[in-house]
Chain A
Amino acid sequence: MTLTTDHTRAVADGAHTHGAVKPQGSRAERRTSFSLEDIPIPNGREEEWRFSPADRLQPLFQADLGTSGVTVEVSAAPEVVVETVARDDARLGTAGKPGDRTAVTAWNAFEQATIVTIPKEAVASEVTSVRLTGVSKDATAAHVLVRAERHSEAVVVLDHDGSGTLAETVEIVVEDGAHLTVVSVQDWAAGAVHASSHRARLGRDAKLKHVVVTFGGDVVRVTPDTEFTATGGEVEMVGLYFADTDQHQEHRLFVDHAVPDCKSRVTYKGALQGSGAHTVWVGDVLIRAAAENTDTYELNRNLVLSDGARADSVPNLEIETGEIAGAGHASATGRFDDEQLFYLQARGIPEIEARRLVVRGFFAELIHEIGVPEVEERLLASIEAELEKSMSVITGAPTA
């Protein structure tokens, strides 16, 4: 069984949406605010929470988050400046406002932020790594700002490991002409609950490659928002996720084309295995009336490897001008089915290797797009580890 939508050349027909429930109005009308009062605790029926396990996220909805549950370690390229600053630093809060409850609780509770700055015209000679490690179950807020000053170039990798309960803000500022790659890897141990608001703001001719990789943790919900502020901006958003039994992995993207001549590409792919594995992908793209000559395409694919897993996929494209270069989206959820397995096994290939072949094939092109060899190698290793688990799902044996 495969569910597919493919609108490679969507037209300017206003709201263009697929999904069981029609979203409430335009994405442009969604409330954003720095104030807790403006974005109350959700009941779970709101559009942006309707797929989420609100009960498991409760601790992160509260206003009184602590700051001690995660440690932050940075290993920076020599060209890059790393600071730990107080919350009143003027550079914080410049990449858009919080758009949902966990984003607003994260904003109001953090005490210190980590700022990674790539100075103007600097080209980082190596990857800068920011590691957030969960050390206790206490609900915690954290804030990271990555600033690529004009005409700088760098790759910054955020790693999340250990186990924690974290509401996080990742601000990404890409100034004029800068080329920045930000990779966020969620590879938490069991028990982790993580909500992360990524807010990116791009200047003139700025390029951002934004990569999200989610493997571990009980509940992981990442909401990357991207806003273009001047012409010539380009964003490539790539995501890869692999959900196991009872894991909830949610990725909600919003690309705001507010100005002309910008380009966005979104490609997210996920695999699911085991009962109760649930993934959600929502891709909102808004092309405002002023954003002429916009070029956008988003794609989500899911591969369901076993029974009892559920993938929700909702692309939304709102187009307020007819003067665009291109706009489209595609979504498909397919199963690794008995026929595929039979075909490969009938060629002498044992079951575990057949699954490996199919899953590797599914992710191959995407991994290649990341363009950071260290990250690519780690991803391949993580996928192999997930596949080891998948054999235990098939055979019912416990995981090692």
Chain B
Amino acid sequence: MPTLEIRDLHVSVETKEGPKPILRGVDLTIASGETHAIMGPNGSGKSTLASALAGHPKYTVTSGTATLDGEDLLTMTVDQRARAGLFLAMQYPVEVSGVSVANFLRTAKTAISGEAPKLRTWGKEVKGAMENLRMDPAFAERSVNEGFSGGEKKRHEILQMELFKPRFAILDETDSGLDVDALRVVSEGVNRAKEETDIGILLITHYTRILRYIKPDFVHVFVDGKIAEEGGSELADRLEEEGYDKYLGANKTVSA
């Protein structure tokens, strides 16, 4: 069974004062079909994990490994990782002026699957997926993320996840900034992907709210660059009650 395996991962970020370590030994294994939630306070390194796995140039892996189905992700370029089956739904999707959503989706799908999608079926597929996410068809002609509301950006990220059919998806605070309706629509999209494919999901969130719609199999509490505690979905319930204070109290080095 395909797995995304992270072993003793250390990552630092370049700052003016030199490299600053953020991840301090992350161990995590996600199998196909599983949903893992990573929760933690601001500044604990959750988003760094997401970006580092996708290969953002800002982050340097100083030690450890990350493999997708046994293949070394860390030696791959960003686009190679995506073609290997990794998808990152970004917290802050970037605007690409003058490039229509339709053109972007087709270009990316072609790059990922190695051949252009069949014109007729692809058109239907895009249209259907947009309908499911309650996106106006006119959306396809707009420039990528340009002038999109926060909710539209996140729907567009999930739209891509549904269309590109990755083997593993990292959702980096996809829930933040969404109202209840948008949260429900986006969560339905994630659940559809889970039903239709054997996707493994790493759901990064600050809040427990999204976990009412997307049931995690495992919950990991992230503090100060590594996993402090692990459990099932009951751990999320406890965090809902108690917050992160307990972890922060034990660990004064957490920065905002």
Chain B residues whose C-beta falls within 8 Å of the C-beta of A342 in the assembled complex: 54-57, 78, 94
Chain B residues whose C-beta falls within 8 Å of the C-beta of A347 in the assembled complex: 79, 82, 104, 108, 111-112, 160, 164
The contact of B96 among A351, A357, A363, A365, by CB within 8 Å, is A357
Q: Quick one: which of A347, A357, A361, A362 has the most chain B CB within 10 A?
A: A347
The answer to the question of A350 belonging to the interface, with a C-beta cut-off of 8 Å to chain B, is yes
Q: Contact at B58–A338, with CB atoms within 8 Å?
A: yes
Q: Quick one: which of B56, B79, B107 has the most chain A CB within 10 A?
A: B79
Q: Contact at B82–A348, with CB atoms within 8 Å?
A: yes
Q: Contact at B111–A346, with CB atoms within 8 Å?
A: no
The answer to the question of B2 belonging to the interface, with a C-beta cut-off of 8 Å to chain A, is no
Q: Contact at B57–A349, with CB atoms within 8 Å?
A: no
The answer to the question of B98 belonging to the interface, with a C-beta cut-off of 8 Å to chain A, is yes
The answer to the question of B227 belonging to the interface, with a C-beta cut-off of 8 Å to chain A, is no
Chain B residues whose C-beta falls within 8 Å of the C-beta of A354 in the assembled complex: 79
B97: nearest chain-A partner, CB-CB = A361
Chain A residues whose C-beta falls within 8 Å of the C-beta of B54 in the assembled complex: 342, 346
Q: Contact at B98–A353, with CB atoms within 8 Å?
A: no
| Whole-angstrom distance between the Cβ of A240 and the nearest chain B Cβ | 13
Give the CA-CA distance A342 to B95 in the complex, in Å.
12
Q: Contact at A361–B94, with CB atoms within 8 Å?
A: no
Q: Contact at A353–B111, with CB atoms within 8 Å?
A: yes
Q: Contact at A358–B99, with CB atoms within 8 Å?
A: yes
The contact of A362 among B88, B98, B108, by CB within 8 Å, is B98
Q: Contact at A365–B98, with CB atoms within 8 Å?
A: yes
The contact of A345 among B78, B93, B98, B164, by CB within 8 Å, is B78
Give the CA-CA distance A113 to B165 in the complex, in Å.
64
The answer to the question of B140 belonging to the interface, with a C-beta cut-off of 8 Å to chain A, is no
| Whole-angstrom distance between the Cβ of A299 and the nearest chain B Cβ | 13
Q: Which of B47-97 contact A (CB under 8 A)?
A: 54-58, 77-79, 81-83, 87-88, 90, 93-97
Q: Contact at B93–A343, with CB atoms within 8 Å?
A: yes
Chain A residues whose C-beta falls within 8 Å of the C-beta of B90 in the assembled complex: 343, 346
Q: Contact at A345–B107, with CB atoms within 8 Å?
A: no
Q: Which of B124-171 contact A (CB under 8 A)?
A: 143, 160, 164
Q: Contact at A348–B98, with CB atoms within 8 Å?
A: no
Q: Contact at B143–A361, with CB atoms within 8 Å?
A: yes
Q: Contact at A358–B79, with CB atoms within 8 Å?
A: no
A347: nearest chain-B partner, CB-CB = B108
The answer to the question of A87 belonging to the interface, with a C-beta cut-off of 8 Å to chain B, is no
Chain B residues whose C-beta falls within 8 Å of the C-beta of A349 in the assembled complex: 79, 107-108, 111
Q: Contact at B78–A357, with CB atoms within 8 Å?
A: no
Give the CA-CA distance A160 to B223 in the complex, in Å.
63
- CB<8 Å pairs between A and B, sample of 8: A346-B55, A346-B78, A346-B88, A348-B82, A349-B111, A351-B77, A351-B79, A358-B96
4 closest Cβ pairs, A-B complex: A361-B98, A345-B78, A348-B82, A347-B108
